[in-house]
Chain A
């Protein structure tokens, strides 16, 4: 399978803990996007990278959130001091330049 891969698929954590998610994009894709999707809603844009450069961050991305794409390949999204409101599906997508976005199957985060 050469699609977008996300790990883990599910994460349950206690409030206040830190969590980190990983995304492996389609290998030739230079752009990588993070979205958040809550139940019954459409995905909301969080941030995106072109190669290793983070070019835009949404206002949704508070200072507890940080994303990296150190070598322009895989990316990590870290949430520090998790809150119950962080519970959501975190989706990663990749594209080649302005081509269509290909999404992974997401990481479902539950904060208890």
Chain B
């Protein structure tokens, strides 16, 4: 059972444009929602994360919007740059559950290509 669904699978955006990636989750016990960026041949790197007590978090050009009632969250990349071309993964975990650690469940990924 895929607990985190991510869309679109791929995205092409012009330099300076906005990239928007959406994720939906099923497990209402999730309480931590990070986004990771992965370049070819590298491991995922944390970009930004949010908890359900806030609806939006912004760090530089990256913004997470969170809708708890809809069980959805999204990543917005403002002023997209060619260097942002990578695969982006949303993820979710339940940090409160005893023994759960910070076990992340990942979405399927979105390959973003920013054209110069």
Contacts and interface: CB of A to CB of B under 8 A. Distances in A.
Contact of A91 (B41, B43, B103, B109): B43
Contacts of B100: 56
Contacts of B89: 42-43
B61 interface: no
Contacts of B45: 103
Interface in A30-48: 31, 33, 40-45, 48
A95 to B, nearest CB: 6
Nearest to A6: B43
B43 A33 contact: no
Contacts of B36: 103
A31 B102 contact: yes
A101 B102 contact: yes
A91 B42 CA distance: 10
A50 B98 CA distance: 13
Interface residues of A, number: 25
Given A41-B109, A42-B89, A42-B109, A98 B102 contact: yes
A100 B101 contact: no
B101 A56 contact: yes
A25 interface: no
Given A42-B89, A55-B101, A102 B109 contact: no
A45 B43 contact: no
Contacts of A50: 101
16 contacts: A4-B43, A31-B102, A33-B101, A42-B106, A42-B108, A42-B109, A43-B89, A45-B105, A48-B101, A56-B100, A98-B101, A99-B102, A100-B46, A101-B34, A101-B104, A106-B43
